[in-house]
Structure 1
Amino acid sequence: MSTPATPLSMALSQRQSDERATPISAFRMARRWWLEGRRLNLSLLAEELGIGRATLMRWVGNKDLLMGEILWSLYKGIYDQAIEKARADHPEKGIDFLGQIYTDVNVALINAKPMHDFLAAEPQWGLQLLTSNVSGLQKRLMDEWQALFEEEIQAGRINPEMDAENLAYFIIRIGEGAIYCDLICGRTPVPERAGQAFRLLVNGHSR
């Protein structure tokens, strides 16, 4: 007696050549390679996907932008988890809510093995991607923090001495100093000091 065919069994039995690569499948493969510690090679990625390099470049823009999407997928997951935890721990929000998010994010990034391996293997490129806007990551980080600050300022829970956009910029720069200081100047990362600087900048004239 033959086994009845199901949509899943038919899909799995299709030849690999029948499968069609998409921008999303390209991203997922590139992200999996990165998480495995492999270098991001666009020519090899295109070959593995069964498409031309020109097609891949049209999909992802360039290597920096593709890596920016991969890094943002890591950052966004860390941010979302930190925000969810801080909302549970500090339903009243305010400076303790923001400070917990900041410290939890920095600690998570310091301890993120894929990030550590990437920076160890390609420190110059990695720092360029993480500390400039060539990959689009900086803009996304600033938007994330600016939105948090604007909400807290409008609610009257914090009263910093600078606007939300500039505040976001400076706390991100301080965070970079804490997270990547071992590469930048050979110092051991100390997220607690970054947290203290964060509170000094964000507190302003407390209400």
Structure 2
Amino acid sequence: MVSSDDVVIGACRFFLRHATVDMDKVALDLAISRATLYRVVHSRDRLLGDVLWRLAEGMLRRAREQRSAPGVDGVLEITRHFSAGLLESAPFREFLRTEPDTAARVLFTASGGVHRRAVEFQCEILRDLATEEGWSRTDLDHLAYLYVRIIESMLYAELLTGRQPDAELAERAIRALLQPV
């Protein structure tokens, strides 16, 4: 029996080679039937969400490990490392270019679950900041949500509005958001 983790790992490898997830070909690569693949992952959107999140989470963890600055500057440093890596990812950029509707659905709605997991991860990062800065942890979920939405609007500017990403504008907005009240 193939596990969900096995499928996601196989689909990640496929995505990195082809900038998409083709369910028939992923099933073939994993030597399972298409029916078994769907039984394990339920839908292509869900599998794409799991693939994109697995790849993004690895990048976020590496960015977090590279953090050298304390406080808000350190949080922004994590975001800079992550954003640069994502914007340089040829498979990801190709996916956004060739499947914009699917990308928007998977990245921004519950069908892919990427946004929710990004907010949870950002909340973890902000918990560290709250401890360092002596903030109350009460509003961290809301701050994490807004933080991620600002970063998404920068990272996916071309997909959402046809504009080029503006990292400086996003950073100014985030600094304003993270200023203690």
| Root mean square deviation of aligned Cα | 2.2
CA contact (8 A) 2:157 2:165 kept: yes
The one of 13, 16, 38 equivalent to 1:57 is 38
**Cα distance in 1, alignment partners of residues 94 and 158 from structure 2:** 13
Structure 1 pair 42–104 and aligned structure 2 pair: CA distance change class (3 A): same
Match of 1:164?
140
Distance 2:115 2:156 in 1: 15
Of residues 61, 79, 104, the one that matches 1:80 is 61
TM-score, length of structure 1 as denominator length: 0.78
Specify the alignment match of 2:21 in structure 1: 40
Distance in 1 (alpha carbons) for counterparts of 2:87 and 2:93: 7
Query: Is the aligned partner of 1:127 residue 2:104?
Result: yes
Question: Are residue 177 (structure 1) and residue 127 (structure 2) matched?
Answer: no
Query: Following the alignment from structure 2 to structure 1, what is the Cα–Cα distance between the partners of residues 2 and 151?
Result: 37
**Identical positions, percent:** 28
Q: Check 1:99–1:158 CA distance in 2 against 1; reply closer, same or farther (3 A cut).
A: farther
Which amino acid in structure 2 is aligned with residue 53 of structure 1? R
* Aligned residue-pair number: 181
Shift of 1:158: 5.9
Measure how far apart 1:40 and its partner are. 1.9
- Counterpart of 2:174? 198
Unpaired segments ≥5 residues, structure 2: none
Are 1:158 and 1:204, in contact at CA under 8 Å, matched by a contact in 2? Answer: no
Amino acid at match of 2:172: Q
Q: Highest CA radius of gyration, 1 or 2?
A: 1
- Matched residue, 1:11: none
After alignment, is 182-191 or 166-175 more displaced? 182-191
Cα distance change of structure 1 residues 53 and 110 upon mapping to structure 2, 3 Å threshold:
same
Unaligned runs of 5+ in 1: 1-19
- Post-superposition CA distance 1:146-201 (Å, at most 9, x none): 12212322x251648x8111111111111111111112111111112111111110
Normalised to the residue count of structure 2, the TM-score between the two structures is 0.89
